[in-house]
Structure 1
Amino acid sequence: MADERDDAVVAAGEAVELRSMTVLRADRENIELRTEDGLTLVGELALPLDGPVTATLITLHPLPTHGGFMDSHVFRKAAWRLPALAGVAVLRFNTRGTSSPRGTSDGAFDEGVGEAADVRAAVDFAVARGLPNRWLVGWSFGTELALMHGSDLDVAGAILLSPPLHRAREEHLRAWAATGRPVTALVPEFDDFLRPDEARERFAPLTQLELVDVPEAKHLWVGERFVALVLDQIVSRVAPDRAPLPHAVPPDMGE
């Protein structure tokens, strides 16, 4: 029904369809995070222009040695859309040694070990800013950081996109299980590293895990329909009153 309404609005010329490069209005701030080991990490905080913040996404990007950074496309589009569409704050940053157009974070890639301080710095920043309903949202390598280092942090839960389970071990899954906090994993049908059937077996120690099998999807979530699906799935967990997301918006919402 929501799709039909959106289509009717677009046809009537009252709104514009959301497309791959659509950027909606938000309050965007370049930020710096300071880690406990003295590094400065560069990032951006995108906030809704109007109304309260319904939830806060602390995003953890894919593997920087294979092209992952704060602008990896799903997270970039989350920052472009979710503040306006769902009142969701989106915090993106480059982990240690990672570069993007925003700049290069201090330090060097540390295989997910030293990055524990990066995750803590991001959560501490969100807490200090008073950003509510904080969720870790990891993608690929970022899911390893969330699983390995997030269970004892001040967050409401975690959402995992394409978790490979290369570095996270059973002890990390059990630590999350002990918290009782919600964890959702979106696992592509054709993932390069971990597909749904194997994921169900390997995630067994994380007893409260909600595993979402995403048909036809691949590890990198290429294609607008998969990006839209991922953002809908995220919002339905962190701000359910704002889901499903619209497919069209009034023209004045765009930048």
Structure 2
Amino acid sequence: MDLKDKSVVITGGASGIGAALAHRMAGAGARICIADRDGDAARVVAKAVGGVAATCDVTDEAQIITAIEAAEKAHGPVDIFVSNAGLGRGDPSHAASAPDADWMLNWQVHVMAHVYAARALLPAMIGRGSGYFVNVASAAGLLSQIGDAAYTASKHAAVSFAESLNISHAQDGIGVSVVCPQYVATPLLGMADADAGGSLITADEVAASVVAGVQNDTFLILPHPEVAKYAALRGSDPARWLTGMQMLRSKAIDEFGALRVQDFYKLV
């Protein structure tokens, strides 16, 4: 899809990958609406890219609809919706130890927010015969994030929902991309661009791959290309893959004394 003059909504757009995407897409000629729980930060990014902002908690369907309405008022019908908001809290101890509230929040942010956006936009997009969803998932949606079962399960569901959108609506003229980065130097990991290096990439590097993917109508966008190799191994030899992940978990505990997501990029 050509981004020039397209109306774009980006959730979680006030920082990290979302903010980097806003700058990249605006640079390609898109008109941007930043939707974020932090309304003040959203307005800062919106001003920088010449767009508009909407305070939006993506767990609330009504607020997603309100953000869409703000974008439509400013820029016309939404052409591209980027479901980028995310979180990660980790397992307190064993794999089922996170409280129900954490499991439900992961489900609401990583899955239902994508559903709410599609529910609001699909009828008009189908009627026009065009539209695009960019659902930001994670390499954990193809593999697994050691030490965060709720994150992993919800990201797998996010990938699955993106597949359903593609299967059901490609013939309606609807494009879909699902983005599955591995480790990115963003506030989610308590990091900034200066921390990037090796397998830890910047938000802007992710944004560049997303823009290229959307322009080429690529379904699976892998900012870390090596994830394709890992996913192939997982599919072809599950026992070997699980053994390798068990070894990686043990190595993380041995080297860092705990399972912290922000340490894993040092091991891959």
For Structure 1 versus Structure 2, the TM-score category normalised by the shorter chain is 0.3 to 0.5
Greater strand share, structure number? 1
Structure possessing the higher relative contact order (Cα contacts under 8 Å, 6 or more residues apart): 1
Greater helix share, structure number? 2
TM-score by length of 2: 0.40
